[in-house]
Chains A and B, each alone.
Chain A
Amino acid sequence: MKKLSIFIALSAIVFSGCKQDDEFSGPDLNNLYGGFSIVQDLDISNRNVDFSSGESTYFTATFSKNVEWNIEIKGLTSGAIRNIEGFSDNLNNVNALWNGTTSILPMFKGEDCAVEVTFLNQTDTLRDTLTVVAGRVNQGFLLSDFENGFPANWLTFIQSGANMSFNIQTSDLSAQGTHYYDMGGDVNWDWLKGYVYIPASAYGVQAFPLNSNPANVYFNTFYYKVPTLNNALILFQFCEDDNEDGTFNANNEDMYSIQVTPTAAGWSQLSVNYADLAALVNGAPSTPAGNGVKEPHKLMQVNILHLANPTSGYAQSYIDYLIFTENGPLIP
C-alpha cells in the first residue's frame, strides 16, 4: 500500500505541472472575423512573361486579414484558365507564383491574359492584365502537336464513309498551339471510322526511347468531345516488339490498349500510366498475346483508332498533343 501511495503521489506531482500552451493553433479567429480591406493593390512581377524560356511570374497584394482567395488567369485568345487558390493575408512569390500551367484546357499560348482575384465571402475583386509571350514547353517524347502538319511516315486508313474528315484543323481553340487533328465520319457498316498508326520508325528508331519501367512512363494526349455528339470512342493501342526483331506480330507479341469514351464536352486530358494499360479485345480485358510483361522500351508502334457504333450516325473527335512523359503525368 505504501508503494502504491508513493506511486500515486508521484503521478499527482507530475500532473501538477500541466498547464495550457501560451500559443494557439491555426489562424487568429479575431483576424478572420475582422473587417476586410485591400491594403496593397494587385501587382504583377513580370507582365510580359515567356514561359518557353523558363520564365515565371507572380502576383502581389496585401489584405487586412487572412482570407481565402482565388486568382483566375484567363487567356483572351485561347480561353485557357489557370486558377491559383490560397488562404493568407497577402499574395507573394511563393503562394501566387505562375509558371504557365493551365487548370482548364486549352494550354496557354502567346496571348494577352486577364487576371482577376476574388475572395470568399467578400465582394471585392482585383483585376489586371499580362501578356504571355510564349507558352510553356513540356519535357517528354512528343509524338506530335500537329503544328507542323501531318507527321511524315505516320500511316492512316480512312473508311470510305460519308463526311470523312481525318485532317488537321487550325484554330485558336486548339488544346495546344493552333492546330489539332480532326477525326470524323459516318460509316454505317463498321465500328471503325479510321485509324492512325504511329511507328517508331517515323522517328528514326526501332522502339520509342522510353524508360523500361512501365510505372515511370505516362502516355498523354488531349481529346475533344463535340458537344452535340455522344457516340465516339477513341482506342489507343501500344504494340510492343517483344522479341526485338523490328516487327510487331499480333499473334505472339503484346499489345496493350486504353479505350476512351469522351463524356465531357470540350477538351479533356488523358494521362495514363503505362503500367495501368491492359490487353483488350473488343474493349474487354484479355490475356496479352506475348510475354505479358509491359516493356515501354520495346514499344514500336502506337495506334489511334476512331470508333463508333455503325448505327449511331456521324461521329467526330479531335486529338492534340500526343506526348510520353516520365515520372508523372503531363502537367499542361
Chain B
Amino acid sequence: MPRLEGIRSVMVIGSGPIVIGQGCEFDYSGTQAIRALREEGLRVVLINSNPATIMTDPDMADATYLEPLTFDACRAIIEKERPDVLLPTLGGQTALNLSMELSDSGVLEEFGVRLIGVDLNAIRRAEDRSGFKVLCEEAGLDTPRSAVVHSIEEAMHALDLLGLPAIIRPSFTLGGSGSGMARTREDFVRIVKTGLRKSPVHEVLIEESIEGWKEFELEVMRDRDGNHVVVCSIENLDPMGVHTGDSITVAPVQTLRDREYQLMRDAAFSIMDAVGIWGGANVQFAVEPATGRMTVIEMNPRVSRSSALASKATGYPIAKVAARLALGYTLAELPNDVVGTIPAAFEPSLDYVVVKIPRWNFEKFRGVEDVLGSQMQSIGEVMALGRTFNEALQKALRSLESDWAGFDTVELAPADLERLLSTPSSMRLFAVKAAYTAGLDTARIHELSRIDPWFLENLRGLVEFEKRVRAQAFPPTREFMRAAKRFGFSDRQLAGLWGVGEDDVTAAREGMDIHPVVKMVDTCAGEFEARTPYYYIVYDDECDVESDARRSRQAKKKVVILGSGPNRIGQGIEFDYCCVHAAMAVREMGCESIMVNCNPETVSTDFDISDRLYFEPVSYEHVMAVVRKEKPAGVIFQFGGQTPLKLLHRLAAAGVTVLGTGVESVDRAEDRERCHELMNELGIMHPPCAFASSREAAVREAAKIGYPLLLRPPYVLGGRSMELVRSEEEILESIDSALRSSESRALMIDKFIEGAVEVDVDCVSDGENVVIAGVMEHMEEAGIHSGDSSCVIPPLALEEEIIAEIKRQTVRIARALNLVGMMNAQFAIKDNRIYCFEINPRASRTVPYVSKATGVQWVKLATRAIMGEKLDMQRYGETIMPDYMSVKVPVFPFEKFPGVDSILGPEMRSTGEVMGIGETFDEAFIKAQFAAGYRLPKGAGVFISVANRYKRKVIFPVKALREMGYHIVATPGMAKVLRSHGVPVRVVHKLSEGDQGIIDMVEAGEVHLVVNMAWSRKSIEDDKFIRLAANKMKVQCITTMAGFHALVLGLQTLSGGPLHVESIQNYNARLAKPAARETAQGEVRAAGEAA
C-alpha cells in the first residue's frame, strides 16, 4: 500500500537537552528519520532546543527551530509553518507529551494538522498505568497485580491488599522519575507522596513486586496492515528492580526456550495491535524464573533508548523504517537496507552477542549513594559485539573508559560483599567476581543477586580462566594465548596478569600468528550477501573484510576518525557531533571515512554516516586492529574529546600517521608547565600557578600565589575533583582528598581570578592561517566550570579592544602550536587584563553551539584543513558577529539526585545544553531558560536569600519581579533591605522557629524560585538545605548573580508580547554574505596573512 495521500510537510518534535533518561539516542533516531522523510520529498519542520544535535543542523530539516520545547513555541511554529502532519514518536517522552498537549488543546485541529504513526487515544491508554493494564488484560496477557491511587489514603488501602515490597510509579513522568521500591511502610508513604506530586495528573500506580524476576525487552515494528516483526530481543543481566537504562543488557535473549520466546513475541504483537501503532515500539516483560510466569511490564510506543540499541545491535534502521511506516507504507514495501534484496519485513538473525553496559557518574555528585533502582541514573552507555557473551562483556568493560582492561579485579571489602551482591550498584559485576574469588558458589551468588545462573556461570568462566592465566608463565603456548583472546582478554589485561608490558603481550601474540579478524553486522547471520559496511572485531578464524575488500578494491584515500566513547559528564554529544561532521567532510572530499566508536546512542555509530563503521572500544588494541586492517592514510584524533587524545602518543609511536595537530603540539598545550612556558614566550598572561605533591607544599605554594585558588589534578576533563579554596583553612580541609583523587598524586594550584569575566574561543587553523570560529562570553563569573556556564554569542559586554586582543592571543597560540585543526582557549578578563587559563588542542564542547550561532560548520572546515586544504581567508578571515543573539544554557541532572547540592562550582555537572536565539539577549536567554525546563508561573513566590555582598545587587531585579506580580519571600535581613526600597516582602525564617520555615513553604509549593547566592564555604554549607529542598521539589534554584539578572530581564521581555519563533535557516540567512563582506580589514586576518 503506498503512503498516505495529502502529505507534503511533516513536523517533527525533538527531545531537547540531554538529560538522564533522554540522551542522544533521540538525535540518532531523529536524524535517521528526518533523512528518510526528506528522501520521501517531504518538507520537514523540526523543533528542538538542543544545538549539539545533528538533527538541528541547518541542512537536515527544511525549517529548524532551535526553540524551547514548550506548548507556546510549538503552537507558534505550527501557526507559522502549517505542516500537514505531526510525527510525535521521534523525540522521546518529551515529544509525545507535547503532542498530546497540542492535540488536547485543539491546536492540531485548529490548524488542520494530522497526527501520524500513533493513535493518541490508544497511546494515552498505553501510557497510563491503569489503562495499560486493562489493555493487556483485554489482549489476554498477564500483568503484575496493582492498584491506581490518587491519594495517600487510597494508597494505604492498596498496600493492605498488595503487601510489601511494593513498587510505586507516578503516571506520565520521564525516565521513571519519582518512582521507587518500598520495603517498609515509611518508605512507602514517602515515595507515594513524592510520586503524587511529580505526576502531572496526580496519580501513581502501586504494584506487586516482581523484583528479581528475569527482565526482557522486544523491539517491535508494525505497519498499517497489522504486519509485525521483532527487530531485536534483549535480555537484562540485572533482573527486575533495576531500571532497564541502568541494567547491563544482552542481545539477543539468552535464556529463553524458543517456545517461551515465541509466546513473548505473540504477546508483544497483541499489544501493538491493541495500541494500533504504525511504527516501532518497545515492550518490556518480566518472567518469574521458577514458574516461567510471564507478565507485561510496559510499552513505549515510539523510538527509544532501547530501539537505538536494537538498531545498532542488529543493523536494522528502526527509526528510518518507523518514519516510513508512519507515512503509511507497509513492511513488505520497504527494503532492508543492509541486504538490499529482502524487505524490511524481516527479523534480523544475529551471529554474535551484544552487551550494553551503562556509564554512571556518581563521583560527580557528592552525597549520592551508588545504588541502582527503578529510577535511571546513568549518563551514557557502551555497547560491544563479540562472538560470545564473555568476549562482548570484556570489550564493553574496556569501552567504558573507567580504566578497566576487561573484567578486572576491583578491591571490595569482604564484609561488603553480600550487600554489594544483593543491592544493585555500578559495581555489582565486580562484586560477582570478588564473590567467586572469595569462594562463594553460583547458587549463593544467584540467591543474593537474582542474576540468572547462566550469566553467573559465564562470569565464573572468566574468573577461572583468569586464575589459569596467572598460573601460566609468559609467554604461554599458542593454544593458551588463542583461548585467552577468544575469551575476550585484552593484551593489556593479560599483561597486567602476567606482570609484563602490553607491548610484550602484543608482540608475543603476533609472533604466534594470532590476529583479530573483522566480522560484519549483516542482519542475517551470513545467509545473504550484505552490503552494509558495519563491522566488529573479534578473535576468530575468518575475516569478512579481506575477502570483501578483494572484491571491491578500494582506491580511495582512507581516514580513520576516533569517536568519543560513552557519554559522561564532561564528554557528551557535542563530541559526537564533531565526529559526525568530520566523517561527512572526509566523504565530501572524496575520501573514505572510517569511524571507530562504541556508543550505541550516537549518530556517529549509524552505519550510514561513514563509509565504514567499526563498533569497537576506542582503545589501543582495538584501534590498532582497525588500522592494521584498513591501512588508512591517517587517523584524526581531535574530534572525540579527550578519549582519542589519550591514545595519541602510543598510536603515533606505533607508526600511525596523525592527521591534524601532532603529538608535540598536543603535549605543549596539555602539559601545564610547558603550556605556561609557551605563554610566557608569547607574552600572554596566565594566572599564577604551582604544582604540589604534598600537604605542606600545597600550603606553601598557596601562600605564595595568594587566595583564592583552584585545586585540581592535572589532565582532567570536565573539571573532575576541581575545588575552589578561599583561605588556608579551606585548603587544609580539602587537600587530603584532593591529593587522593589525583592519579599522579600531584595537584595543580591555580590563582583564581575573582570576579573575572570568562571567555571561550574556538578557532580553526590550517597550520598557517587561523580563523576565529567564535568568541563566547560566559554569563557566570569565573569559578564555575565552563561547561556549566551559560554563554552568549556575540559577546555582550566585552569591549571591542578586548575582543580583538583575545583573538590576537588565540591566533598567536595556535600558530606557536603549529595547530592543524581545531583549538579551544579560555580566558578570564578582569580590570581590562586578559589571562589565558586553558588551551585545548582539539574541538571543544562549544563547537556545535558556535556552529549553530554563526551558520558555519566549523568541524567540516577544520577537517578540510586537517586533510591539507588551506583555509579560505577571504571567506572566514573576519570573525562572524551575528546581529542576533544566541545563548547557551546548561541543563543539570539534580532532580534525579535529590541529595545533591545544586550550587555550581568548578566541577562540571551538567549533562546537556539548550540554545535560545533572539533579537535581544533577554529574549534569547529567556527562551533558553524555558528550553532548559524552568517555569515561573505568574504570581508565583520567589525566595531570596543572598550573602551580604550581593544584597545591594539584587534590589533592582527583585523590585522588577515584584512589579511583574511575583511575590517576594525573604529572610529577615534581606527583607529589611528590600523593604527599605519599597518592596513588599513576606518574611520567613530559614529554619522553622515555631513559625512556618522556608522548607515548609518550598514543600508546600508556595515558592517557585529560590535565589540563593552564597560566598564563603561556610555560607555555602549553611544554605545547602534550602537548595536541597528546592531540588527535591523541582523548584528552580538560581545561585549566580548573572543568572538572576538575565532571568529577570528575560521575564520582562516576555511580558511584552507573545513568543517569537524563527527558524535557524532564517537567522543564518541574515549573516552578511561572505562575498559582500569587506575583506580588507580585520586584525585577525592581517595576522593570518603575515604568516
Q: Do A and B bind each other?
A: no
Task: State the B residues within 8 Å of A (CB).
Answer: none
